[in-house]
Amino acid sequence: MRVLIFHGYLLRGTGSNIYNANLAQALARLGHEVHLLCQDLDAPRLGWIDAIGRWTEGRLSVQQLRDRAGPGTISAYLPDIGGLLPLYVQDEYEGFEARVFEDLSAEEIERYITANVAAVTDVAEAAGGVDAALANHLVMGPVILARSGLAYAAKVHGSALEYTVKPNPETFLPFAREGIEAASGVLVGSRHTAESLWAALPDLDLESKTRLGPPGVDIDGFRPLRPAERPQRVEALAARIEAEGGGGAFGRDAEVAAPAIRHYAAAEGPRVIFVGKLIVSKGVDLLLAAWPLVHAANPGARLLAVGFGEFGDGLRRLLAALGAGDIAEAREVARLGRGLEGGEAKPLSILSAFLADPPPGYLDAAAAAAGSVAFAGRLEHDEVAELLPCAEALVMPSTFPEAFGMVAVEAASCGVLPVSAGHSGMQEVSRQLAPALSEEVAPLISFPVEAGAVAGIAERLNAWLALDEATRASAREALVRTTHDLWSWEGVASGVIAASQGRLDQLPKP
């Protein structure tokens, strides 16, 4: 079967990128011919891509890169969008002028859509037709496939809906409506995302064609590791990154990543990890504020933050202030909040409330924890898979709605306790994991995002780390088993094809 996927972004790094990379590979394993439209300039270097398509003076040419041993094939295409890459959250993308959608003119938006419609049409014609198709993101993937005349399913990841469409309805609701109305089926990662979508487009009766389509997990890549093997695994990764260096589109900084990972490897106590964008919405400030309380109860513990983003410098400023015992400076970071991300100053209310009256001995604990946190910057997804099983716990503290708790699922697949914010798609993942856990462990995987969230994170991490090894080993086995039972990429791939072809009765409602 010939399957076309329109993604329009990179194939590494953030959630939707990883979703499409894994989906394409699962479809190929099932024997399908996959045609993936993206903007990853390094796509030819990815070992799972068999051919690369580019446009020169408006003409598509395809270069064969390798012969695949398995039954399916994957061809990636890089539409010529004139160098302007629209985003949902502002960031830098090497090789592009990257701007958020709301900063684009009407002419720039239409030019972007038109260029991609032409590219989709060329790919479909060159492939000899398409049997199934998937449009990613509420805008602009669905409207692009709608105008291309294909039958398709739409996958709503959440970022386009929450960061672009809902804040700017006059501009972007018409595009969302056009694309979603023409879709054969709409896939969401959680009930939360479904309800948010239905509220944004109440006149389209979307409940009848919305189905649950969460991401999957690579259970071969994300798997447990024996404690004795962890330091060597982490040290080997640091050495390899140091030797390979960085570079390329969206490339990591080896001079930052390798020392941070090596610092993590040298922990004399438990390891805790965060993986995600360094933006205000991910709530990393709450984890940093909680960390002195965790470190005080677990001397030798170390925390590693993996990710990149506009709030990175603000988080480092907060960490430095806490380590120096400078509560006034920490409160200033909390007061400026989103202003340190590049927008207008907007206080971080939960952090501000905690710092206004920290618990007794907090500043001494913060000073003692100085030097126990490192920032690795951006890592490849397979490198994250090497790091995750070396942790005792992962924290996903997002304060903004998430379509799905993908990082939490990947941690669970490694036997690592995922401690997630108790809302949106993250809470739905926690609810699915909880029944397999004991009464003392189940409450630890979710915390409410409210005034006590900082203490809530610390209490859950400390409770987990204080449990006896037999209890934790049993919980780890339950997490792995449940993850394997609930989420697999082959199941996700089959669901995408069914939704594209309108076979919605085969898919669960959210």
Tens of pLDDT, residues 414-451: 999 999 999 998 999 999 999 999 999 999 999 999 99
At 190 the pLDDT is: 87
User: Based on the number of CB atoms within 10 Å of its own CB, is 400 exposed (0-12), middle (13-18) or buried (19 or more)?
Assistant: middle
Q: What are residue 5's DSSP bridge partners?
A: 36, 134
- 130 and 277 both lie in a single domain: no
pLDDT digits (tens, 9 = 90+) for 312-357: 999 999 999 999 999 999 999 999 999 999 888 999 999 999 999 9
At 248 the pLDDT is: 42
At 249 the pLDDT is: 40
Instruction: Classify residue 282: in a domain, yes or no.
Output: yes
Instruction: Classify residue 260: in a domain, yes or no.
Output: yes
Instruction: Classify residue 221: in a domain, yes or no.
Output: no
Segment 104-124 shows an average pLDDT of 98
CATH number of domain containing 244: 3.40.50.2000
Please check the confidence at residue 97 and state whether its pLDDT lies above 50. yes
Amino acid letter for position 169? P
- 46 and 174 both lie in a single domain: yes
**Which pair of tokens denotes residue 14?**
């953030």
Instruction: Classify residue 74: in a domain, yes or no.
Output: yes
- 197 and 276 both lie in a single domain: no
- 299 and 157 both lie in a single domain: no
Segment 65-71 shows an average pLDDT of 85
Q: Which residues contact 343 (CB under 8 A, 6 or more apart)?
A: none
- 196 and 248 both lie in a single domain: no
Q: Measured between alpha carbons, how far is 35 from 172 in angstroms, rounded to an integer?
A: 27
Three-class SS state of 9: coil
Percent of the chain whose predicted confidence (pLDDT) is above 90: 86
Instruction: Classify residue 100: in a domain, yes or no.
Output: yes
User: Could you tell me how many residues make up the chain?
Assistant: 510
Segment 393-420 shows an average pLDDT of 95
- 185 and 289 both lie in a single domain: no
Instruction: Classify residue 102: in a domain, yes or no.
Output: yes
Instruction: Classify residue 179: in a domain, yes or no.
Output: yes
Q: How open is the CA angle 106-111-114, to the nearest 5 degrees?
A: 125
Tokens 């979603």 belong to residue: 180
Q: Which domain holds residue 186?
A: 2-216+488-506
Please check the confidence at residue 94 and state whether its pLDDT lies above 90. no
- 481 and 493 both lie in a single domain: no
Q: Measured between alpha carbons, how far is 190 from 185 in angstroms, rounded to an integer?
A: 15
- 178 and 292 both lie in a single domain: no
- 392 and 408 both lie in a single domain: yes
Instruction: Classify residue 222: in a domain, yes or no.
Output: no
- 283 and 416 both lie in a single domain: yes
Q: How many domains does the chain have?
A: 2
Q: Which of 440, 434, 437 is nearest to 459 (CA)?
A: 440
At 399 the pLDDT is: 96
At 246 the pLDDT is: 61
Segment 282-293 shows an average pLDDT of 98
Measure Cα distances from 309 to 47, 352, 498 in Å: 27, 21, 36
- 163 and 233 both lie in a single domain: no
Q: Which residues contact 392 (CB under 8 A, 6 or more apart)?
A: 270, 271, 272, 416, 417, 464, 465
Q: What share of the chain is helix, strand, coil (3-state, %, to 5)?
A: 50, 15, 35
At 251 the pLDDT is: 64
Greater confidence (178 vs 247) lies with 178
Segment 72-86 shows an average pLDDT of 97
Q: Measured between alpha carbons, how far is 377 from 424 in angstroms, rounded to an integer?
A: 26
- 184 and 234 both lie in a single domain: no
Measure Cα distances from 71 to 5, 25, 64, 76, 172 in Å: 19, 11, 16, 17, 40
Segment 447-465 shows an average pLDDT of 97
Least confident of 104-118, 394-408, 451-465: 394-408
